[in-house]
């Protein structure tokens, strides 16, 4: 059965994996660390993000994506190719992840207080 997750804002980056077996192209997209998704997941999205003539390898992006798989196969993140993508500086990417983590921790703390 295919995973059918909710869409989330995710900060991702382009990179060149060491192992290209079973993959098309030399440049791929993965989530940055410090978020809800593991960094080993690949991202299916607009091919323009992987075009080094448009974006150098290592460029960070803000996208909307969900966790899915292909009928029980390997899990990956999916973002529709036509959706808006925002290129970010390294500093912007870190700030967005940090702010999201602070919001998440704040919500967790509030829930714990309300449960007590």
Predicted TM-score (pTM) of the model is 0.83
The residues, ordered by sequence, that sit 6+ positions from 45 with a Cβ below 8 Å of its Cβ are 12, 29, 63, 65, 77, 78, 79, 80, 81, 85
Condensed to tens digits (0 to 9), the pLDDT of residues 84-115 reads 999 999 999 999 999 998 887 765 544 433 33
User: Residue 60 falls within a domain, yes or no?
Assistant: yes
The dihedrals phi and psi of 72, each to the nearest 5 degrees, come to 85, 5
Query: Does residue 38 sit within a domain?
Result: yes
Range of the domain at 28: 8-115
Q: Give pLDDT, residue 111.
A: 42
The pLDDT tens digits for 19-72 are 766 667 899 999 999 999 999 999 999 999 999 999 999 999 999 999 998 777
How many domains does the chain contain in total? 1
- Whether residue 15 lies inside any domain: the answer is yes
Q: Does the residue 2 lie in any domain?
A: no
pLDDT of residue 24: 76
């Amino acid at each position: 059965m295919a995973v059918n997750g909710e869409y989330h804002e995710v900060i991702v980056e382009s990179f060149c994996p060491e192992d290209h077996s079973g993959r098309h192209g030399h440049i791929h997209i993965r989530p940055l660390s410090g978020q809800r998704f593991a960094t080993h997941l690949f991202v299916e999205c607009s091919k323009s993000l992987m075009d080094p003539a448009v974006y150098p390898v290592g460029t960070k992006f803000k996208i909307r994506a969900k966790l899915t798989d292909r009928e029980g196969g390997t899990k990956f993140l999916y973002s529709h190719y036509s959706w808006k993508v925002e290129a970010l500086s390294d500093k912007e990417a870190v700030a967005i992840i940090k702010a999201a983590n602070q919001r998440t921790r704040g919500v967790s703390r509030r829930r714990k207080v309300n449960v007590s």
